[in-house]
Amino acid sequence: MTASAPTLDVVAIGNAIVDVLARSDDAFLAQHALTKGGMQLIDAEMAETLYADMPQAKEISGGSAANTLAGLAALGKKCGFIGQVNDDQLGEVFAHDVHALGIRFDTPAMQGDVPTARCLILVTPDAQRTMNTFLGASQFLPEAALDLDMIRSAGILYLEGYLWDPEQPRAAMRAAIDAAREAGRKVAFTLSDNFVIDRHRADFVDLIDQGLIDILFSNEGEIQSLAQVDDFDKALGVFAAKVPVLVSTRSEKGAVAVVDGMRHEAPAAPVSQIIDTTGAGDLFAAGFLAAHIEGRDVADCLKLGAAAAAEVISHWGARPEADLVVIRDQLFA
- Kindly report, residue by residue over 211-265, the tens digit of the pLDDT: 999 999 999 999 999 999 999 999 999 999 999 999 999 999 999 999 998 999 9
- Kindly report, residue by residue over 174-210, the tens digit of the pLDDT: 999 999 999 999 999 999 999 999 999 999 999 999 9
Count of alpha carbons within 13 Å of 52, Cβ hemisphere only?
A: 6
Strands across the sheet with 245-249, in order? 104-105, 79-82, 8-13, 154-160, 186-190, 215-219, 245-249, 255-259, 262-266
Cβ distance 268 to 306 under 8 Å?
yes
* Whole-angstrom distance, CA of residue 105 vs CA of residue 29: 35
Between 319 and 219, name the one with better pLDDT. 219
- Kindly report, residue by residue over 135-155, the tens digit of the pLDDT: 999 999 999 999 999 999 999
Residue 321 has pLDDT above 60, yes or no: yes
Angle between helices 298-312 and 280-293 (to 10 degrees): 150
* Whole-angstrom distance, CA of residue 305 vs CA of residue 250: 12
pTM: 0.92
pLDDT at 318: 83
Cβ distance 6 to 150 under 8 Å?
no
* Confidence class for position 1, pLDDT limits 50, 70, 90: very low
Interval 71-100 mean pLDDT = 96
DSSP alpha helix (H) spans, 210-273: 220-227, 232-239
How many C-beta atoms surround the C-beta of residue 124 within 10 A? 18
Residue 2 has pLDDT above 80, yes or no: no
DSSP alpha helix (H) spans, 10-112: 26-31, 44-53, 64-74, 89-100
Q: Compute the Cα dihedral for 75, 37, 222, 252 and give only its sign.
A: positive
pLDDT at 143: 97
Residue 127 has pLDDT above 60, yes or no: yes
